[in-house]
Amino acid sequence: MNRINLNSHHPILDIQNHVVFANNGNVVLCYKVALPEIHSLSEQDFEELHSMWFQAFKTLPTGTVIQKQDSYQKVGYDAHQLPNNTFLEKATYEYFKGREYLSHQSYLFFVLPLDKTLNAAKYVNPFRKAEKGFHRKLDVQVAEFITAVDDAVSFINNGQRVSLSPMPSDDILTHTNNYYNGFNQDFDTDMLLENKYIEIGNHFFDVIAVTNENCFGGWVQSSKTNEKFTSDDFTFHQGFIDGLGLELNENHIVNQVLYLDNKHKWRKLLDKKVEELSKSSNFGSQNKVVLKKVQHILDQINTDDSSRIIRGHLNIIFWHSEAEHLKRIGSQIKAGFKELDIMPYHPNGEERKHYFLNSHPCHATNFSNEDLYVTDLKHALCLYINNTNYASDATGIIFNDRQYNIPVLKDVWDEDKHRIKARNFAIFAPTGEGKSFLANNILRQYFEQGVRLVLIDLGGSYAKFAKLYPGQHVILRYEQGKNLGINPFYMAADSDLTPERLEDLAVFLLELLAQHHATKSQEVAIKKVLLWYYKTIRQDHSLASLYQFVDDRKDTLIQDLQIKEAHFSTYDFLHILSEYVQDGPYSFLFNTGADQTYTIEDKSLIIFELDEVRDNKEILSVMLKLIKSAIQRTIWRNRSERGIILFDEFAKQLKFPNVLESVEFYYQAIRKQNGAIGIILQSINQLPENSTSASILENSQVIYSLRNEKGYDALQKRLNLSSHDLNQLKSIRNNLSGERKYTEIFIKIGKESNVFRLEVPPEVYAAYLTDGTESTEIMDRYEETLDMEKAIKAFIHFKKETL
């Protein structure tokens, strides 16, 4: 049969759920395989996956055929998952839409053959008898087979890394139609099988296969060194045949078919083969090589009770719209096999047709002994592909994958807490590696998703991105000798003095008094003072007013309130707070009448720029307390609203204990809110090694690290990173030249980690620039127009004109 039309020769008679009844009497159980992301697995991970497959398959009934099919197709990136509303979102959507990449789909099929002897003739054209069809029923044998496969699938799904899901009937039909229709889109066509190549519509097909034991030169293993990322001081691993998976950037399918055979039957056959080869081993070196391999397999069977003899077949089907290009792909595949010390077979004519037609799971029982190698199941499973494309979450922050720089959404908020219990994050990167750029990227996307941002910034890194959203942001900049307009003691009405507000004010005063570990008695005492103050003084509340109130009653206050001196020291109160009132050196911080925090109540993006105060630990500490009180009274009132507080450029200040403890408060308080805290540091060593820092790190379960030439040992030690995490960090490479510029970022979300890229369109790049002549140029244009979007567009247009 030289021409096959699928409409008249369909291999499937019936589908019940995910169970296919084929026209040749075979029953096929069909599953979609979800695999871990490429680059995310260590050497040990590969070994564990190998063991998982073995444990799942080894007890399946004799005669079972298992086919794993990994299909790779060049497609254009479908940007439907990306938001497309704001200026920067639209720029990102248009920039990546249609970008070519290799899409991977992995399937697993369990086949119950009609004839369990599995001894096909040399060539079987599965469509020759297709007109009849065997109408097999869901009988006892089929039911037992389904139960056995269910057990294997449950075992796999109980693991951490791989999951199998039953294929819906529509997907099974689509899979079959796509395969036999040669992956041609928008039209049905015939298969032409007798030409130089298999020709289906606009595509030419060829096959390269591994068909007998002689193909294997050396031993196989579950993983090998990844030369691309490995360096002198670390080893990065990849799956044994990953070079023929996503690394082969062409349209192709990797098929691996396993026949689970009777162990005792094969022991007898191999004994016989050893005997024959022993007699003829003097007649050539090839016979000696084969004898050695067969003897090894026999030894394994005899010594390892858990061994499972299989016959296996591995082939790679590949296609292209130009016949000439097939030769180049074929050469790449052969080179890939040669690296693995495997000598593949390149079939022609009838043989090629046979391999193509029977690599569909309905026909996977049609391979003959001449098409199959004999080995142990453990050996065959080393040839499994165990990873796939980077996986996008349903929602999240856009980064890029490491293969093609296509967008990947990562849910670093994790609303349902599948991966993390605390969504606080930390960014680590030395100066000049792009930490502000990365922070801008994360925060801008959060902001556009409706998350409220409070940025406590000492470097002026966010003004440009903020100006894209006029009316939605406010920048409160500290200037020498001036206050921020925050009066934590201000009450507009009696109803404002809620128990929560009283609690917050008590904590504020205790922190100002440096009583960071106050007892319950001390807290109660200071609340009594505050309550008496608000009952007595009915207007113009402020720290100065409170100070005067206590000073006026200093001789009788303890008796009047019936509190002990040990719980409230009037002298200490007046002595310490004298620095912040009247002529005290820091009185300007509290010299404000009516509270101005209402200006931030309706803003979604609030930036406190404290650049001028970065070296004054006293002012900075008070500033943080004032900001905290403003946040509590405005942003944290609505606990259903998502919010993020970011401390940027904070390394120098973290050396001051009172600052560190002030930050720790945010970490404790954020647990009650629907929020997260982020810190940005040049090095993890800038966090002092104490219990406060340990608590902060423990509660930061999303970690970002950019490249660090000095190494990552401190990061590994203090964050308890795995050896593979460290290898991933060491493999980070940036590309800041050429058409597609990107930086690489290590991201760890809970226990999951990988290296991602950050590539952005010119508009986004311009919005994130924080220094240099280009940034100044954009800000100058903004001063002219007071429209950041226009300024960025004009800057990009000018750059294109001058290139």
Q: What is the pTM of this model?
A: 0.87
| CB-based contact 484:606 (threshold 8 Å) | no
Q: Which two tokens stand for residue 13?
A: 């008679």
C-beta of residue 684 within 8 angstroms of C-beta of residue 714: yes
pLDDT value of residue 117: 65
Q: Tell me: the pLDDT tens digits for 609-640?
A: 888 777 777 787 788 888 887 787 776 777 77
HSE-CB at 578 with a 13 A cutoff on CA atoms is 7
Res 305: pLDDT = 63
556 CA to centre of own chain: 63
Alpha helix locations (H) across 281-381? 285-303, 323-339, 349-357, 377-381
Joined tokens for residue 452? 């409220």
- pLDDT, one tens digit per residue, over 496-541 is 888 888 988 898 898 888 887 789 999 999 999 999 999 999 888 8
Q: What is the mean pLDDT of each run of 10 residues along the chain (803 residues)?
A: 61 91 92 96 94 95 95 95 94 96 97 78 66 67 94 95 96 93 85 83 94 86 87 87 95 96 72 70 60 70 73 96 94 95 92 92 92 90 96 94 95 87 90 89 94 85 88 84 82 83 88 84 92 90 91 90 90 92 87 71 84 77 81 73 84 66 76 85 88 86 94 93 93 89 95 95 91 88 92 90 73
Q: How many CB atoms lie within 10 A of CB 736?
A: 8
CA separation for the pair 311, 320 (Å, rounded): 30
**HEC per residue, 352-414:** HHHHHHCCCHHHHHHCCHHHCEEEEHHHHHCCCCCCECCCCCCCCEEEECCCCCCEEEECCCC
CB 743 within 8 A of CB 758: yes
Q: Yes or no: say if 184 and 201 are a contact pair by the CB < 8 Å rule.
A: yes
The distance in angstroms from the start CA to the end CA of the chain is 60
Instruction: For residue 761, give both structure tokens.
Output: 């369109």
User: What's the pLDDT tens digit per position in 231-276?
Assistant: 878 888 999 999 999 999 999 999 999 999 877 776 776 677 677 7
Give the per-residue pLDDT at 336.
Answer: 95
